[in-house]
A and B are shown apart, each in its own frame.
Chain A
Amino acid sequence: MPETIPKAIPETIPVPIAETIPETVGASLAALGISRRALLKYATRLATLMALEPLAAPAMAEALARAKRQSVIWLSFQECTGCTESLTRSFSPTLEDMIFNLISLDYHETLMAVSGAAAEAARLSAMEANRGQYIVVVDGSVSTRDGGVYSAGAGKTHLDILRETVSGARAVIAVGTCASFGGIPRARPDPTGAAAVAEIVTTKPVVNIPGCPPIPEAMAGTIAYLITFGKLPPLDDKNRPLSFFGDTIHDRCYRRPFYDRGLFAKSFDDEGARNGWCLYELGCKGPVTYNACATVKWNGGLSFPIQSGHGCLGCSEPGFWDRGGFYTPLPARTFEGGAVPAAAAAAGVAAGLGSAWLTRRRRQKAAEEMRAAETQDGKPQEQKETLP
Chain B
Amino acid sequence: MSARAQAPSVLPSAAPAASSPASLVGSLLAEIAAHLSALAQNGREAAIDLLGLPMGEAERDALARALGRGEVEARLSVGGESEIWETAYAGVWWVRHFGAGGELTGERIEITSFPAILAAAPADIAAAAQRLGTRLVSPPTPALPAALPPVPTSHPGSHPASHGEPDA
Name A's B-contacting residues (CB within 8 A). Answer: 26, 30, 35-38, 40-42, 44-45, 47-48, 51, 54-55, 57-58, 65, 91-95, 98, 254, 257-258, 261, 263, 275-276, 297, 300-303, 307
Contact = CB atoms under 8 A, between A and B. Distances in A.
* A-B complex: 10 closest residue pairs judged by Cβ atoms: A92-B99, A36-B121, A54-B47, A300-B103, A276-B10, A301-B5, A94-B79, A94-B100, A254-B7, A92-B100
Contacts of B117: 37, 40-41, 44
28 contacts: A30-B123, A30-B127, A36-B121, A41-B79, A41-B97, A41-B106, A41-B117, A44-B117, A45-B97, A48-B49, A48-B106, A55-B46, A65-B123, A92-B100, A92-B103, A94-B99, A95-B99, A95-B105, A254-B11, A257-B11, A257-B15, A258-B12, A263-B12, A276-B7, A276-B8, A276-B10, A301-B103, A307-B7
Interface of B: 4-5, 7-8, 10-12, 15-16, 45-49, 51-52, 76, 78-80, 82, 97, 99-101, 103-106, 108, 110, 116-117, 120-121, 123-124, 127
A57 B106 CA distance: 12
Given A37-B124, A41-B82, A65-B123, A91 B8 contact: no
Contacts of A57: 116
Given A40-B116, A300-B99, A92 B80 contact: yes
A185 B107 CA distance: 41
A301 B124 contact: no
Contacts of A98: 79
B100 A93 contact: yes
Nearest to B118: A37
A275 B10 CA distance: 6
Contact of A91 (B7, B101, B120): B101
Given A44-B97, A92-B80, A95-B79, 20 more contacts: A30-B127, A37-B76, A37-B78, A41-B79, A44-B108, A48-B105, A48-B106, A54-B46, A54-B49, A54-B110, A91-B101, A92-B79, A92-B101, A92-B103, A94-B100, A257-B11, A275-B10, A300-B99, A302-B5, A303-B5
Contacts of B78: 35, 37-38, 41
A55 B45 contact: yes
- Per DSSP, chain A at the interface is helix
Contacts of A41: 76, 78-79, 82, 97, 106, 117
Contacts of B80: 92, 94-95
B79 A54 contact: no
A47 B5 contact: no
A16 B141 CA distance: 39
A91 B12 CA distance: 32
Contacts of A258: 11-12
A38 to B, nearest CB: 5
A360 to B, nearest CB: 28
A47 B110 CA distance: 14
A302 to B, nearest CB: 5
Contacts of B79: 38, 41-42, 92, 94-95, 98
Nearest to A298: B5
A166 B129 CA distance: 44
A51 B52 contact: yes
A316 to B, nearest CB: 20
B14 to A, nearest CB: 9
Nearest to A303: B5
A29 to B, nearest CB: 9
A388 B80 CA distance: 38
A196 to B, nearest CB: 31
B43 to A, nearest CB: 13
Contact of B103 (A26, A36, A48, A91): A91
Nearest to A263: B12
A35 B46 contact: no
A95 B81 CA distance: 12
Contact of B48 (A37, A54, A297, A302): A54
A253 to B, nearest CB: 10
A92 B116 contact: no
A53 to B, nearest CB: 8
Nearest to A91: B101
